[in-house]
Amino acid sequence: MSTTCKQVRVYFNLHRKKLSIQEKVNGQWKVTRHADEIMLADIKFKVYEKGRQRVLSEKRKNVHAFIIGNLVEQVPDDEMTTVRYNPYQLERFHDGTGYIDNAAFVKIVGRNINAINK
């Protein structure tokens, strides 16, 4: 696995219908580009609870959930698990069997998140 070791934060942009990719610029997360798909390693799934609560109270979506990891050019050809997040159903990302906070690798294509937990 070759990695660029560049940590990014990713979310699905509802307006552009693409992934928004953020990088730290002068200590703050800034959107630096958009993509249809991305592959990451050393993943953390992060939901900011205040933002989630605002979604629940206002019934309006806002950016409050991210996948954070290091950019890679490919992921292993192992069995992948589908990961989902819906603020109205559960408070964190889940894989159908339970909450998931970390993964070794993810491949994100549009709204589809597939993770390798090894």
Token pair 């940590």 is at which residue? 7
Q: How is the chain split into domains, by residue range? A: 3-116
Which backbone phi and psi does 77 adopt, to 5 degrees?
Answer: -90, 55
Residue 51: how many CA atoms within 13 Å on its side-chain side?
11
> Taking the model in full, what pTM does it have?
0.91
**pLDDT tens per residue, range 43-97:** 999 999 999 999 999 999 999 999 999 999 999 989 999 999 999 999 999 999 9
